């Protein structure tokens, strides 16, 4: 009995490992994430159009997304520590998924940016709470040799929700345009309310399908001491991730870029719908690429593939800057940009976690994922805020160009790390 518990604790065994990598826990986490993304990614797609209808500028969107990412990042760090110390991972994940529909309801009620910011913070607090703990549960449910495939499958399932939700959201938005509204923001609010259904179903799915190894609490664990004990190579890796993240702007800004480039020819509502469909295309690319990327990483090395993904991220920023410089408001050109974005996000989301798992012990896995999330979130806060401000104060070319330079430096840092 004690041997089994010890094995589960140090990662040599898990509740579902004997059933292969596509077990109940991995499948359940995928279904849950698909429903969760169905909920909040629909908002991500139509939020820029909603802000445009309300007359809120790009700088405000950058700040809203940046603050939300920062909140999520600090939450990831604390949630990992709390879970490792007190051993209640599944309960915290359930709470995290439950907060997302609450945030959606606040956005649906908003008449200006303050309540939108609050709703985004609540949703992203939940996202930060659940992410590291869900990943830690998944890592212990599979063998080290199959992590790439398991996480690739999970990210693909996650992105299926990010495709279906926005598609139905855009369709519902188009249908709602034909109704009579006293306020032009009415169709957008209807979509926000609709997203609460999949958000609540995600909580039920995780509760019933996912099995947690039930790690024993470690009340002697100290936050600062645990961070200091993380391996030096992992800290160097975090430095490269953070440098790349300083340019890794929120893709809400990419949707807003497409909306602005298309508006002169289509009008703002139609442009918002097309921009939403372009984001769906980005997610379809991510779905198609996630599992092959994970399998390739298992064979050729996770860090090596991650470097290639980071290079694609820098290319995304360069292409967006060029689109504004040459006023390339054509759907095919924008489709190419969103396609490259889908590839780099597929690599980033599937492999940053698996590279982390190669560098740290199982006992500090949740805290390490929290540190990774914190570095990513803080960097994204800086990036999204800076790109939005540079966009509004100077030009979008400067904003996305600066992002491209920082992402290129982060790629170089990861390439040179060992």
What one-character-per-residue DSSP string does 279-330 give?
HHHHHHHHHHHHHHHHHHHHHH-HHHHHHHHHHHHHHHHHHHHHHHHTT---
Percentage of residues in the chain with pLDDT exceeding 70?
89
pLDDT at 75: 82
pLDDT at 305: 93
Report pLDDT digits (tens) over 29-55: 899 988 988 887 788 778 877 887 888
Q: Which residues contact 91 (CB under 8 A, 6 or more apart)?
A: none
pLDDT at 10: 37
Identify the burial level of 49 via C-beta atoms within 10 angstroms of its C-beta, where 0-12 means exposed, 13-18 middle and 19 or more buried.
buried
The most confident of 7-21, 188-202, 400-414, by mean pLDDT: 400-414
pLDDT at 53: 84
Report pLDDT digits (tens) over 177-214: 777 777 888 888 888 898 899 889 999 999 888 887 65
pLDDT at 9: 39
- Residue 14: pLDDT above 60? no
pLDDT at 316: 96
pLDDT at 243: 94
Between 266 and 343, residue with greater pLDDT: 343
106 — pLDDT class (breaks 50, 70, 90): very high
418 — pLDDT class (breaks 50, 70, 90): low
- Residue 381: pLDDT above 60? yes
Cα 31 to Cα 158: distance, rounded to the nearest angstrom = 7
Q: Domains of the chain by range and CATH?
A: 21-209+231-416 (1.20.1250.20)
Across 377-398, average pLDDT: 87
Structure tokens at 346: 């597929």
Across 244-259, average pLDDT: 89
Between 103 and 68, residue with greater pLDDT: 103
Identify the burial level of 335 via C-beta atoms within 10 angstroms of its C-beta, where 0-12 means exposed, 13-18 middle and 19 or more buried.
middle
pTM here is: 0.68
pLDDT at 176: 81
Across 239-243, average pLDDT: 93
299 — pLDDT class (breaks 50, 70, 90): confident
- Residue 1: pLDDT above 70? no
- Residue 79: pLDDT above 60? yes
User: Using the 8-state DSSP alphabet, how is residue 204 labeled?
Assistant: H
pLDDT at 226: 67
């Amino acid at each position: 009995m004690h041997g089994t518990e010890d094995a589960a604790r140090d990662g040599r065994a898990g509740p579902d490992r004997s059933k292969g990598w596509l077990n109940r826990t991995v499948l359940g986490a995928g279904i849950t994430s698909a429903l969760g993304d169905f909920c909040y990614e629909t908002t991500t797609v139509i939020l820029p159009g909603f802000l445009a209808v309300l007359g809120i500028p790009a700088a405000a969107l950058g700040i809203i997304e940046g603050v939300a990412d920062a909140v999520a990042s600090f939450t990831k760090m604390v949630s990992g520590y709390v879970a490792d110390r007190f051993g209640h991972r599944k309960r915290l994940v359930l709470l995290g998924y439950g907060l997302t529909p609450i945030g959606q309801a606040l956005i649906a009620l908003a008449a200006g940016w303050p309540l939108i910011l609050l709703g985004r913070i609540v949703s992203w607090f939940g996202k930060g709470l659940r992410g590291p703990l869900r990943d830690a549960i998944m890592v212990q449910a599979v063998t080290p040799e199959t992590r790439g495939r398991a996480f690739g499958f999970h990210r693909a399932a996650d992105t299926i929700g990010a495709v279906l939700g926005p598609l139905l959201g855009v369709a519902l938005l188009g249908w709602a345009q034909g109704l009579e509204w006293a306020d032009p923001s009415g169709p957008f609010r209807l979509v926000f309310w609709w997203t609460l259904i999949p958000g609540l179903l995600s909580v039920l799915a995780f509760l019933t399908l996912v099995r947690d190894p039930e790690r024993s609490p470690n009340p002697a664990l100290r936050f600062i001491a645990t961070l200091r004990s993380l391996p030096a190579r992992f800290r160097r890796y975090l430095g490269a991730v953070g440098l790349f993240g300083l340019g890794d702007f929120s893709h809400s800004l990419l949707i807003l870029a497409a909306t602005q480039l298309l508006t002169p020819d289509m009008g703002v509502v139609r442009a918002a719908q097309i921009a939403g469909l372009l984001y769906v295309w980005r997610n379809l690319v991510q779905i198609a690429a996630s599992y092959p990327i994970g399998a390739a990483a298992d064979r050729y090395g996770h860090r090596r593939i991650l470097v290639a993904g980071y290079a694609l991220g820098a290319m995304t920023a360069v292409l967006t800057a060029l689109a504004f410089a040459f006023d390339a408001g054509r759907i095919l050109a924008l489709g190419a940009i969103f396609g490259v974005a889908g590839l780099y996000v597929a690599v980033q989301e599937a492999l940053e976690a698996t590279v982390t798992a190669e560098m740290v012990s199982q006992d500090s896995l949740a805290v390490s994922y929290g540190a990774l999330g914190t570095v990513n979130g803080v960097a994204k806060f800086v990036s999204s805020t800076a790109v939005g401000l540079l966009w509004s104060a100077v030009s979008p070319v400067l904003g996305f160009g600066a992002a491209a330079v920082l992402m290129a430096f982060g790629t170089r840092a990861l390439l040179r790390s060992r």
